[in-house]
Amino acid sequence: MAAISLKIEELKSSRDISSYLYDREDISPGIVAKVNKILEDVRRGGDRALIKYIRRFDRTDLDDIKDIIVSEDEISSAVKGFKKEFPDLAGALAQSRKNIEQYHIFQLKNGEKSWLKEFGPGRKLGQKITPIKRVGLYVPGGRYIYPSTVLMTTIPAIIAGVDEIALFSPPGRNGNLDDILLYLLGIMGIHEAYKVGGAQAIAAMAFGTETIKKVDKITGPGNIYVATAKRIVNGYVGIDCLAGPSDITIIADDSARADFIALDLLSQAEHDPFSRSVLLAKSKRLAEKVVESINMLLETLKNDTAYKKNVEIALKSMKDFCRIFYSSKTELLIEACNTIAPEHLEIITEDPDNIVKGIRNAGAIFIGSFTPVVAGDYIAGTNHVIPTAGNARFSSPLSVNDFLKRSSICIYDRDALEKEKDKIAVIAEFERLYNHRDAVLKRFSL
pLDDT of the residue at 19: 67
For residue 50, what are the contacts with CB-CB under 8 A and spacing of at least 6? 42, 65, 68, 196, 200, 203, 204, 209, 211, 212
pLDDT of the residue at 143: 67
112-169 pLDDT, tens digit per residue, is 678 788 988 998 888 898 999 999 999 998 767 889 999 999 999 999 999 999 999 9
Q: Which DSSP string do the residues of 394-440 spell out, in sequence order?
A: T-----GGGGEEEEEEEEE-HHHHHHHHHHHHHHHHHTT-HHHHHHH
Which of 47, 83, 96, 94 is CA-nearest to residue 194? 47
Residues of the chain where predicted confidence (pLDDT) is lower than 70: 1-2, 19, 22-27, 111-112, 143
pLDDT of the residue at 30: 87
Helix axes 87-109, 179-188, angle to 10 degrees: 40
Q: Active-site residue 25, yes or no? A: no
Q: What are the CB-based long-range contacts (under 8 Å, 24+) for 423-429? A: none
Instruction: Report d(CA 135, CA 400) in Å as an integer.
Output: 13
- The full length of the chain comes to 446
| H or E segment to which residue 55 belongs | none
Are 225 and 31 spatial neighbours (Cβ–Cβ below 8 Å)? yes
pTM, to two decimals: 0.86
- Out of 3.30.465.10, 3.20.20.80, 3.40.50.1980, 3.30.420.40, the CATH code matching 8-22+245-367 is 3.40.50.1980
pLDDT of the residue at 110: 73
pLDDT of the residue at 23: 56
As to burial, measured by CB atoms within 10 angstroms (0-12 exposed, 13-18 middle, 19+ buried), residue 414 is exposed
Instruction: Report d(CA 291, CA 320) in Å as an integer.
Output: 15
391-423 pLDDT, tens digit per residue, is 999 999 999 999 999 888 999 999 999 999 999
Instruction: Report d(CA 174, CA 192) in Å as an integer.
Output: 20
Are 190 and 136 spatial neighbours (Cβ–Cβ below 8 Å)? no
CATH topology for the 29-239 domain? Rossmann fold (3.40.50)
Q: What are the CB-based long-range contacts (under 8 Å, 24+) for 441-445? A: 443/417, 444/418
Mapped onto helix, strand or coil, the DSSP state of residue 354 is helix
> Helices in 25-69 by DSSP H: which ranges?
29-53
Q: Which member of 104, 271, 335, 344 is catalytic?
A: 344
Q: Active-site residue 344, yes or no? A: yes
Q: Which member of 335, 343, 346, 384 is catalytic?
A: 343
- CATH 3.40.50.1980 residue ranges of the chain are 8-22+245-367, 29-239
